[in-house]
A and B are shown apart, each in its own frame.
Chain A
């Protein structure tokens, strides 16, 4: 019996190192040429972030593939009709120039150019679990920095209790905005102490590169202990308030989507169970963990709160 399978590729067919390195140099040169010709950088390559700091908050679980993370998305501005729609449609969204204004109950309201946002704090790689309210999950290697670094810049007033995140509207490229199902712009919110928690991330990239548009370019929120819909994408405005912000899914279906939306296997969605989840790429469902496995870090934020009532 022949156990060893013959090789598919003859050694002679393997590209020699010198040759493929030459090719890479050529591609780089072509890229530089494209830049020089005034093409937007996004047209040929995404900005890569070298020298990322590792984070103690990263999970050791294996991340999902770049393909899974960038082709299976909920980004309702680009359609409600399927998880592949954002990847198919979001490419047309303009992410430069981009500004983020921070206003409301702050000492120093300010509008940041996106380039300045990228320089606010040392960039870290944060490998987080993401649990969607629909019952699936992924592990994603984000690039970003804690939201509290951004909030420090504008100095929240003592009266500020909540943070509201308002996201981009671009009717020309976002067919979802014409649907009457949700109030636009997509708006999310956190309590100020949740926003200041070191786990709460402003993500600007994944897998070491700038965020693909369907994942919320050029910057998004990532709150890993809450269901994914809390983590607003393509943010343009952050407002500090003294009242609980009205958030999009909560306004649409308050009995199904709460303001808190902490991952909780004991509180079912009215229409389906939240006890288990399917990790994308796995066959068997796994048990969902309280606070998506971040209970040690965040449970104390909710001490004394009835999580069944404040779901």
Chain B
């Protein structure tokens, strides 16, 4: 399966629209009075959850590509990554504006003293350079290797993101655990392939010629 450029364009446009559904859902719930008794909490959770979802979906592209052989999937990855940043930004702004209402003293204290907020803030800050260097011009300017190195930090970001979630729940860790397991599988797939590749190279090298 190999879509032609036109089909890929349609696919991208569809995906672009699809990624807006979680945001539209908030709009709809706000309109129909469906955000519950604590709308700010609901919005914050919803946006945070979708940030993690997009990070995991984006990290699933490479394994999926190798398993299915659909290498064109890589063409959708930037879109997913930028949406992860988009939802992270909305999540952060919700915290700054709706939750804390720009109470800077409280915000600084939160970031400094609350481990789960420190983690979330760190992950968000680390996402900024990745979003800023996502276009083709920046790839060229940085050079492919440096760009790749920089963008590997997304593995750490996803891990910190899941820790952020883990540390904020009161007692029931079922959902954070689920995210951790999926993330572990996605990163484990890469580690496995990398070690196999090393082995192959090592064997190729040590083979008598």
The B99-128 residues at the A interface (CB cut-off 8 A) are 100-101, 103, 106, 109-110, 113-116
Q: How large is the interface on A (under 10, 10 to 19, 20 to 34, 35 or more residues)?
A: 20 to 34
On whether the beta carbons of A182 and B171 are closer than 8 Å, the reply is: yes
Q: How many whole Å from B83's CB to the nearest CB in chain A?
A: 25
Please indicate the chain B residues that have their CB under 8 angstroms from the CB of A285 in the complex. 100-101, 103
Contact of B168 among A67, A181, A271, A283 (CB under 8 A): A271
B106 touches A72 (CB 8 A): no
Of the candidates B37, B116, B171, which one forms a contact with A280 in the assembled complex, judged by CB atoms under 8 Å apart? B37
**B68 CB within 8 Å of chain A:** no
A271, B116: Cβ atoms closer than 8 Å: yes
Q: A134 on the interface (CB 8 Å rule)?
A: yes
Closest chain B residue, CB of each to CB of A182? B171
- Inter-chain CA distance A285–B173, complex, in Å, is 28
Interface size classification for chain B:
20 to 34
Chain A contact residues: over half helix, strand or loop, or mixed?
Answer: loop
Q: A181–B106 contact, CB under 8 A?
A: no
Complex CA gap A275/B106 in Å reads 9
Known contacts A271-B114, A271-B116, A273-B109; is A252 also within 8 Å of B38 by CB?
Answer: no
Chain B residues whose C-beta falls within 8 Å of the C-beta of A181 in the assembled complex: 171-173
Q: How distant is the Cα of A244 from the Cα of B65 in the complex, in angstroms?
A: 60
Q: Which residues of A contact B113 (CB under 8 A)?
A: 268
- A273 touching B110, Cβ below 8 Å: yes
- Binary contact track A67-95/B, C-beta < 8 Å → 1, others 0: 11001100000001101100000000000
Q: When the two chains form their complex, are residues B167 and A179 in contact, meaning their CB atoms are under 8 A apart?
A: no
B171 with A252: CB separation less than 8 A: yes
CB–CB A83/B36 < 8 A: yes
Instruction: Please tell me if A278 contacts chain B, counting CB pairs below 8 Å.
Output: yes
A161 within 8 A of B: no
Q: Which residues of A contact B103 (CB under 8 A)?
A: 285
Enumerate chain B interface residues (CB-CB to A < 8 A).
Answer: 36-38, 40-41, 98, 100-101, 103, 106, 109-110, 113-116, 167-168, 170-175
